[in-house]
Amino acid sequence: MSLLHPRHPHEISFLGVQPYQTMLSGNLTLNDAALEIIDLLLEIPAGFAQCPPHLHTWYELNYVFEGHMQTSFGGSLLDIHAGEFFLIPPGTEHAHTYEPHDPHKGVCLRWKVDRKSEDTPANTFSTYEQLHVLSNWKPGVYADEFGLGQLLMTCFEKAKGSGSSIAALLQIVQVILAITELSPERKRWIETETNSDHALLRKVEIYLNDDQSYEVDVHRLAASLHMSYGHLARKYKKLSGHTIMDRMSQIRLERSLELLRCTDQPIQEIAYITGLSSLSYYSRLFKKKYGMSPKEYRDSGKEKGAVPLPHRI
């Protein structure tokens, strides 16, 4: 029996809770699935005009109760109105545009799911497989003809009464399981560019520009795109002509140019800030790329009154 029942959006009352306050979070194990509820929160982006393109390693469900917003999945902007929702699988590029002076009111639910490491008995129903089917969800906008909004409101009610209790977490699981039952034919729009080669390059670019750590977790990047790292590395090299690590080094060197031009920070500190492991390694990469050392680049700018962009070799 389906968990969702038709319910018109105007029948749903709006809950008065604080925007962006996490109503519940927690972890559950269901058969062979390890489910992490990251957060359930009310979204009212007052004063914000946009959220730039980005991607993440968790699922995100967004439901609009009042007003409207715009979202893109690597393509043109789409209008999402009251009583509509969309689901963002891990590794899917997306961006949002808001009305800063008349923001929409909506709900955001984020979660992750992994398969338990322990072996499960043969012929056991796989909860993981049922939940993991959403990883293949093609981004689109859905009208709520099923009562999903009411289920989300029930989650808020339970969270307000008992916090992150087992009952409240199980209510969230009901929402997620309900989404797995939806027919893909019900979406009114599909982004056909999402799985294109161009979109893959964009996703890698966003991830690398966001990463500030010393060592890029390339395996996490590949996992967010539902690919093995070997396959991703080969495909990226074929499409771009560069390795992922070469592109990461280029991004970090370009960050360092701005710091050399616009600050008086020590060069060793710039190497640290940009995520390059040591001053010697940074200097070696810089000279190979631009034909001069970071110090020579900075000094030439001081002599001329402005730091020129070095010629690439």
**Residue 146, pLDDT above cutoff 60:** yes
CATH class of 196-313: mainly alpha
Task: Enumerate the β-bridge partners of residue 42.
Answer: 19, 107
CATH number of 9-186: 2.60.120.280
Percent of the chain exceeding pLDDT 70 equals 82
Q: Where are the alpha helices (DSSP H) in 79-228?
A: 127-132, 148-162, 166-180, 197-210, 218-224
- Residue 58: predicted pLDDT: 94
Angstrom CA distances, 291 to 121, 188, 263, 268, 298, stand at 62, 53, 21, 19, 13
Task: Enumerate the β-bridge partners of residue 112.
Answer: 36
Q: What whole-number distance in Å separates Cα of residue 269 and Cα of residue 293?
A: 15
Residue-wise pLDDT tens digits, 53-72: 888 899 999 999 999 999 98
47 CB-contact burial (10 Å; exposed 0-12 / middle 13-18 / buried 19+):
exposed
- Residue 121: predicted pLDDT: 60
**Residue 217, pLDDT above cutoff 80:** no
Delimit the domains of the chain by residue range: 9-186, 196-313
Mean pLDDT taken over the chain: 81
Averaged pLDDT for residues 32-46: 91
Q: Which two structure tokens, joined as six digits, stand for 309?
A: 């962009």
Residues in the chain: 313
Q: What whole-number distance in Å separates Cα of residue 26 and Cα of residue 130?
A: 20
Q: Look at strands 68-72 and 59-66 and give their pairing.
A: unpaired
Is residue 169 within 8 A of residue 28, CB to CB? The reply is yes
Residue-wise pLDDT tens digits, 255-301: 888 889 888 899 998 988 888 878 898 999 999 989 999 999 988 87
Q: Per mean pLDDT, which range of 10-19, 99-108, 143-152 is the poorest?
A: 10-19
Averaged pLDDT for residues 202-227: 75
Is residue 37 within 8 A of residue 24, CB to CB? The reply is yes
Taking the model in full, what pTM does it have? 0.59
User: Which candidate, 144, 167, 173, 146, places its Cα nearest to that of 62?
Assistant: 144
- Residue 60: predicted pLDDT: 96
